[in-house]
Structure 1
């Protein structure tokens, strides 16, 4: 089964657990709205690719991990778009959840998706308690404080931002979760997979900075020039467009070189290359070397 089908099937199974006759209809609808149709599903694709590279001996575990990770990512997007943070009207080319359903329902939707992500991993304890426990610990570490995406959002309220810590928490954390949870789901030690996740995350952040600076709202599917509007540090502001592209190429080379020795090493390297190509905007002609 293609990875995209595995991801969507796992997402559907996780969301099905929220469908109950006694559940609030608008909240249930908002959960589906926030997750379907999905974006590029880059994080769960990386997770499943790592699991496959490591043998993927328990696909039911890796599928659940992939769904949980994407649910957590979707939750973060719902919260990021709120008026108290980015105040964004668009997400993935359609009205953001707080615009479509109201601000209170957006808060509840993000909260519910976080809980659903944790529940999705917890359910796998019946299949393999040790792996489920390690996956759950990895997921929560990469989403909370002091190193997860909550910390990343928290840095934006500080008078001075530690740029390295900010990027590691805001963007890289969920990619670290992707590589490490993929390894854990297949029975491998997660520690050797940290660098790959961190470097993919750093590359994604630089690419996101480039997209924010170079693309229009229609192409991007969300508001543009958000870094400039909110006064956030970013790779384009620090390095210029050409410098940011060069930095992105260097990071991706490092990411591929960091892949631990495993049966599917070559195939995983190709996945990283293809995903990198998919997120990299075309360099404007005037900036080419």
Structure 2
């Protein structure tokens, strides 16, 4: 079974487990709305890819870790879209959870997704149960204080956040957790994978900053121009579009160089290159610049 089918199967089972008889049906619907249809699933794909590169001798634990990572990511998106943060009406090309189900259910859905994530690891039918605590620790670090995604969101509430601290917490932390959890689920040392995951996550955030300036909303499934509108730290506003593109290229090269020697190294390099092309395709930057370079400057004001 390929990684995509493994991940979707694990997520479907996780969501179904929370829809037991007698529960509030609208909350269950809001949770399902937040998880399906899928986005890129790059974080759980990273978790599975690292586990495969390290032998993947406990696939049940790997799948539980991958599902937990994605459920936490979905929870962060539900909360990020709330009126108290971005007030985003769309996510993944359709109404955000609070737009579809109301603010109260969106808060509860995000909270429930966080708990459901950790239930996947607690209930995992692992053949190496001694590894679960280590995997759980890495997953928790990716969301917790002081440097997890909760801290990343909180940096938006500070008067003068440091851009790199913000990017590494908001996005890099869960990527690092995904890579470390994948290694730990396969019985390998997570330490060499933390740098790789952190670097990939930072690249992903810089790409998001770039796309917020030059992408079409329908192409990325959410509104653009949000960094400027909400006064958020952004590589595009701090370094200009050209500087952000150079930063992105450097981070992608750093990700590839950080991949430890392993039998799956070539597959991981290919994954990073493919994801870089998907996030910031050459035609996106050239088409927008050709249409009007002045628009780029206006967007950054």
Residues of 2 paired with 1:60 and 1:41: CA distance? 18
Higher mean C-alpha displacement, 221-230 vs 233-242: 233-242
Residues of 2 paired with 1:179 and 1:230: CA distance? 31
Show CA shifts across 1:162-192 (max 9, x none). 2221111101011001110110111001111
Residues of 2 paired with 1:17 and 1:233: CA distance? 38
In the alignment, which residue of structure 1 is the partner of 2:177?
A: 177
Whether contact under 8 Å (1:209, 1:235) holds in the other structure is yes
Whether contact under 8 Å (2:179, 2:193) holds in the other structure is yes
In the alignment, which residue of structure 1 is the partner of 2:110?
A: 110
1:260 aligned counterpart, secondary structure: coil
Deviation at 1:124, TM superposition (A): 2.3
Residues of 2 paired with 1:278 and 1:2: CA distance? 20
In the alignment, which residue of structure 1 is the partner of 2:285?
A: 283
Computed over aligned residues only, the root mean square deviation of the Cα atoms, in angstroms, reads 1.4
Residues of 2 paired with 1:19 and 1:202: CA distance? 35
Residues of 1 paired with 2:200 and 2:16: CA distance? 31
Q: Does 2:56 correspond to 1:56? A: yes
Deviation at 1:130, TM superposition (A): 2.2
TM-score w.r.t. length of structure 1:
0.96
Residues of 2 paired with 1:177 and 1:284: CA distance? 34
Deviation at 1:128, TM superposition (A): 2.6
Higher mean C-alpha displacement, 271-280 vs 139-148: 271-280
Residues of 2 paired with 1:222 and 1:161: CA distance? 24
Residues of 2 paired with 1:189 and 1:250: CA distance? 26
Segments of 5+ residues of structure 1 without an aligned counterpart are: none
1:43 aligned counterpart, secondary structure: helix
Residues of 2 paired with 1:14 and 1:131: CA distance? 20
Segments of 5+ residues of structure 2 without an aligned counterpart are: 291-301
Whether contact under 8 Å (1:122, 1:133) holds in the other structure is no
Number of equivalent positions: 288
In the alignment, which residue of structure 1 is the partner of 2:293?
A: none
1:48 aligned counterpart, secondary structure: helix
Q: Does 2:119 correspond to 1:119? A: yes
In the alignment, which residue of structure 2 is the partner of 1:267?
A: 267
1:124 aligned counterpart, secondary structure: coil
In the alignment, which residue of structure 2 is the partner of 1:139?
A: 139
In the alignment, which residue of structure 1 is the partner of 2:66?
A: 66
In the alignment, which residue of structure 1 is the partner of 2:294?
A: none
What stretches of structure 1 move > 6 A for 4+ residues in a row? none
Deviation at 1:286, TM superposition (A): 7.0
Residues of 2 paired with 1:51 and 1:198: CA distance? 17
In the alignment, which residue of structure 1 is the partner of 2:241?
A: 241
Whether contact under 8 Å (1:227, 1:233) holds in the other structure is yes
Q: Does 2:227 correspond to 1:227? A: yes
1:116 aligned counterpart, secondary structure: helix
Deviation at 1:194, TM superposition (A): 0.8
Residues of 2 paired with 1:255 and 1:59: CA distance? 25
Higher mean C-alpha displacement, 182-191 vs 229-238: 229-238
